[in-house]
Amino acid sequence: LVAECGSNVPTSRLAELAHREYQSGDFEAAERHCMQLWRQEPDNTGVLLLLSSIHFQCRRLDRSAHFSTLAIKQNSMLAEAYSNLGNVYKERGQLQEAIEHYRHALRLKPDFIDGYINLAAALVAAGDMEGAVQAYVSALQYNPPSTKSNVLACYLKAIETQPNFAVAWSNLGCVFNAQGEIWLAIHHFEKAVTLDPNFLDAYINLGNVLKEARIFDRAVAGYLRALSLSPNHAVVHGNLACVYYEQGLIDLAIDTYRRAIELQPHFPDAYCNLANALKEKGNVSEAEECYNTALRLCPTHADSLNNLANIKREQGNIEDAVQLYRKALEVFPEFAAAHSNLASVLQQQGKLQEALMHYKEAIRSPDFPDAYCNLAHFLSSPQIVCDWTDYDERMKKLVSIVADQLDKNRLPSVHPHHSMLYPLSHGFRKAIAERHGNLCLDKINALHKPAFEYPKDLKASAGRLRVGYVSSDFGNHPTSHLMQSIPGMHNSDKFEVFCYALSPDDNTNFRVKVVAEHFRVKIKILSLPSHLPCNGKAADRIHQDGLHILVNMNGYTKGARNELFALRPAPIQCMWLGYPGTSGAPFMDYIVSDKETSPFEVAEQYSEKLAYMPHTFFIGDHANMFPHLKKKAVIDFKSNGHIFDNRIVLNGIDLKAFLDSLPDVKVVKMKCSIGESGAAETNGALSMPVIPMNTAAEAIINMINQGQIQVTINGFTVSNGLATTQLNNKAATGEEVPRTIVVTTRSQYGLPEDSIVYCNFNQLYKIDPPTLQMWANILKRVPNSVLWLLRFPAVGEPNIQQYAQNFGLPGSRIIFSPVAPKEEHVRRGQLADVCLDTPLCNGHTTGMDVLWAGTPMVTMPGETLASRVAASQLQCLGCPELIAHTRQEYEDVAVKLGCDMEYLKMIRSRVWKQRICSPLFNTKQYTMDLEKLYLQMWERHASGGKPDHLVKLQPVESSESA
C-alpha cells in the first residue's frame, strides 16, 4: 500500500481505497487515505462526509460533527451532512437537536430514505410514536412496491388508527425481522408486550429476535416470561435451551432440551440440538444416538443428517459421511453448511472440481459467510494454488465478512492459521485468535473442573525446573526436524523434561530419538491420544507431573488440543516454535520470539508477553540430521578456469577420505568478505576441493547421464543423488545419514549449467500476485536467469506459468521439479545460486533448509510474525545485507546477486561458512539460551510477579559450534 498510495495515486483510487477500508472496518486506514485525498481536493464534500462517518463509527463525536459542519459550509444543500450531524446529536442524547437536523435533511432531499429511518428512530426515543409511524410511512412511499412494504404499510396504518393495538405492533415486528431490521423488530415486540403483558406469541417472537441478535440475557428473560404464561410449551423450552447452549451453559441446555422432548416426544429439532450439546460435552456416542432418533422421527431432517455426517467424518468413516452429506443435500439442495462440509471432504480426497462446485453452491447462501471464506481459502490452498481470478475482489469481500463477524462477536470464518495469508489488519488477526481462544474456554467451562494447585518452588523436583513440551508433531514432521535434539540437550542437573505427544507413534526415528533420550536426560514421553483422549483427564495427567512450565508447540495447527492449556495444568504456559502467530488466548502467558521477528513496538499484536531469545527463536537440527552437507567438493567439468561451486556437487561423511584417494585434487579459496576498498578479502577464506576431469570424474558424470544408481571408485561407493530412496529409505527421510558419497547435479533437474538459478522451495500457496510480479521483474533484469520452483502441488504449475506470462515472462524461464524426500530436498538446494523468499509468509523450515545448503536467501520482512522469520534467520547468520525493506530493494538485492559474480561468490562463501560458525544451527547453544529464558519465567512467577515482557535477555557464553 505504501507504493500504491504515494503522491501520484489518482484521487479516484484514493476514494475507492478509503470506501473499501471503511466498509471492511479498517477505519484507521480509511481515515489516512481520506486525509490524503482531502489535502489534494479540499473542496471534496464526499470525503468530508466519509470522514464524518469514520469518526462517528470510532465514537469521536466532536470530530464527526466538525467534518459534517465543514461539509455544510461547502454545500449548505447537502442533506447527508445534516443527517450525519443529527446522528451525533442523537448519540449525545440531544434528541430535539437530532430531530431538527433530520427534518432539515428531509426538506432538502424528500426521497432520503435513511433520513426518514433515522428520524423515526429519534422520534421513538423521544416517545413520539405517532410521528415515528408517519416517518415510517413516508419512507415506504419512496421504496419500490413489494409485498412486505404493503404489509408494513397496513400494520403502520393500523397502529396510526389504534396506537394501543398490540397485535399490530407484534406483527409489525415480524415484518421488520423478515427485512433484517433486527433493532426495529425488537422495539416493536417490546411495545407489544408492554401493551399486553400476557401476549404469549409476542414474548416468543421477542425471545427469538433477541436470540438472533445474540442478546442472550434478555432472550432468556423473554422465554422465561413466555413459559410463565405457558409452562408446557415444548418449542419455547427448545428455544430457551438453544440460548443456554450459546451461553456455554451446556448442562442447563441439555436438561432443557430433555424437558422439551419430555413434553413433545416427537420433536426432531430438540433431539438434534440435544445431540449437539452432548457432542460438545464429549458424549459422542449418546449424541450419535440422538441424531439417529431425530432421523427415525424425520428421515429428511437435514441438520441431523449433516451433523451425523460430521461425527462419521471425525471418526474416519469418510464414505458414510459423504453419503449423509449427499442425502442432506437431496432433502435441502440449498443447505450451505452441507455443501461446504462435503466440499471439504472432496477436497481432501483430491476430487477438486466437484469440491469447487459445492463450495460455489455454498456461497449462494447470504447467511453462511463461512462458505465464502472456505472458497477463498480453497482457491489459495495447496490443492488449488495460485488461482488469482478476481483476487482483489475476493480479498475485499473476505475482509468485509470477517469485519462483520467480529463486529457481531461471532467466530470468524477465517481460521487463525490462515489469517496471515490475507490482507487483514493486526487487530483482526489478533481478534480471530482471541475468538478461538475463548472457544477453548467455553468448552472447558462445560467440564466444571476446579482450578489446579501448582508447585510453589522446586523442592518436589529436587531443585530442577520441570518443563513439558506438548505437540502433535513428534514424528516425521518439520517441527521434529527442527527441534528433535532440544529435549535431550537440556541440562539434567537443572531441568526435568516431559514430552506429551498428541498424535500416535509413527514409528520413525524422529519419535524414537525423543523417546531414546529418556535414558540419558530422564525425558518422559506420554502419548495422550492412546491413553487420555478426554481433555479433562489429559490435563489431570499432565498436572500430576508437577510441571512448572508447559510449552505449546501447536498453536492452531492441525492436531492441536488447546483445551488442555485452557485448563491450565501448569502455572506458566508459553508458545514456542510450531505456530507463527499469537494464540490470542488468556491462558497462554508468553510467546518465545526475538527482536527481529517480534519487534517490541508491535507487542500489542500479541496476547502473550514477549520472551526474547538472544539471536533467533528459530532453530534447526540440520547439523545433526545432515552432517554430510557440512563439506562439499565440486567437479571442474568445464576446465576453463571458471570454477562453479554448484553445478556438480559431492557430499558425504567420508568425503575427505574419498578425495584423498583421488589424484590431482586442488583446493580453491572462497572469499567470505569485502574489504573497505571494495576488493574481496582472503582473510578467513574457505577451502573448496575441486576434482579435475579425470577418470573418476568421468565415471561420476557417466553414472548421472546414464541414470545409474551408484558406482564404486577406489573402494568408495558413489551414489546418484536421485536414488537415495532406493539405497536407504531412512537416509532419504532424514532419519539416518547417508553412508555413500552423494552426487547432486544441475542436469538431474533440467537446470541450465550457464544460467543464474533463483529458487523457492516453499509450498506454492505462499506466493501471491505481488511476489510473482517481483520475481518476474528480477528475471527480466537478469536475462541469463531462471526461476526454480517445486510442483508443491503440481496443479499450481499451469497457474504460475500463465500469470508469469501475463507479467511478461516466458514460461520457459520457470523450471518446476517434483517434491523430493527430505534429505534430497535439503541437498539439492546447493544447486541454486540464490533463494527468493516469499514475503507473504516466509519459508520457515524451508529457509533453514536452503541456508544449510549454503544458498543465500533474499527476504523482505512484513508486519506479521510469519513474514519476519527469514529476516531473523539471516540476522542470526550474519547476513543482514540479504534483508530488504521495500519491494524495490528486494529486487535490487536479488539483481545484484545475479549480475555481480564476485559479489555472489563472496555472499555464497559467507553463508557456507556462517551456517557452521553462527548460532543459527547450534542446537546446544540454543538450548542453553532457552533454559535461561525458562528460568527467568519461573523466577518471576516464584517471586509473585505476573508474566511480563522478557526482552533484555543476554546470550550465554557460546558453546562449541554446530
Ranges of H-type helices in 508-573: 509-516, 518-521, 528-531, 535-544, 562-566
Res 530: pLDDT = 46
The number of angstroms, rounded, from the C-alpha of 742 to the middle of its chain's C-alpha atoms is 38
Cα 137 to Cα 380: distance, rounded to the nearest angstrom: 48
Could you tell me which of 23, 883, 723, 699 has the C-alpha nearest to residue 396?
23
Helix (H, G, I), strand (E, B) or coil at 924: helix
**Cis peptide bond upstream of 793, omega within 30:** yes
- The set of residues, in sequence order, having a beta carbon less than 8 Å from that of 843 and lying 6+ positions away, is 760, 761, 762, 766, 835, 837, 849, 850, 857, 870
Neighbours of 871 (CB within 10 A): 25
Cα 636 to Cα 376: distance, rounded to the nearest angstrom: 50
Res 778: pLDDT = 99
- φ, ψ at 321 (rounded to 5°): -60, -45
Give per-residue pLDDT as tens, 430-486: 999 999 999 899 888 877 889 999 998 999 999 999 999 999 999 999 999 999 999
Res 518: pLDDT = 45
- The set of residues, in sequence order, having a beta carbon less than 8 Å from that of 421 and lying 6+ positions away, is 377, 380, 765, 766, 840, 841
Res 155: pLDDT = 61
Termini Cα distance of the chain:
41
Query: DSSP characters for 770-833?
Result: HHHHHHHHHHHHSSSEEEEEEETTGGGHHHHHHHHHHTT--GGGEEEEE---HHHHHHGGGG-S
Q: For residue 417, indicate whether it is catalytic.
A: yes
Give per-residue pLDDT as tens, 540-568: 999 999 999 999 999 999 889 999 999 99
Res 524: pLDDT = 59
Show the low-confidence residues of the chain (pLDDT under 70).
Answer: 1-9, 124, 129-130, 133, 136-137, 140-161, 380-385, 514-534, 639-641, 673-685, 953-962
3-state DSSP percent of the chain in helix, strand and coil, to 5: 55, 10, 35
Cα 593 to Cα 919: distance, rounded to the nearest angstrom: 15
Instruction: Name the residue with cell 468448552.
Output: 443
Cα 945 to Cα 588: distance, rounded to the nearest angstrom: 16
Pairing status of strand 666-670 against strand 648-651: unpaired
In three state form, how does the secondary structure of 712-743 look? Answer: EECCEEEEEHHHHHHHCHHHHHCCCCCCCEEE
Instruction: Name the residue with cell 483445551.
Output: 563
Q: Please count the helices (runs of H) and the strands (runs of E) in the chain.
A: 44, 21
Cα 351 to Cα 647: distance, rounded to the nearest angstrom: 40
Three cell numbers, residue 226: 413466555
Could you tell me which of 629, 630, 647 has the C-alpha nearest to residue 832?
647
For the CA atoms of 83, 88, 92, 96, the dihedral, rounded to the nearest 10 degrees, stands at -20
- φ, ψ at 883 (rounded to 5°): -100, 115
| 413 touches 370 (CB < 8 A) | yes
Res 685: pLDDT = 65
What letter does residue 573 receive in the DSSP assignment?
Answer: E
In our burial notation (b when 16+ CB lie closer than 10 A, e otherwise), range 812-829 reads ebbbbbeebebbbbbbbb
Domains and CATH numbers, the chain: 459-620+925-942 (3.40.50.11380), 623-749 (3.30.720.150), 756-920 (3.40.50.2000)
The number of angstroms, rounded, from the C-alpha of 325 to the middle of its chain's C-alpha atoms is 27
Q: 495: which strand partners?
A: 465
Cα 865 to Cα 535: distance, rounded to the nearest angstrom: 29
Q: Which of 101, 301, 377, 417 is catalytic?
A: 417
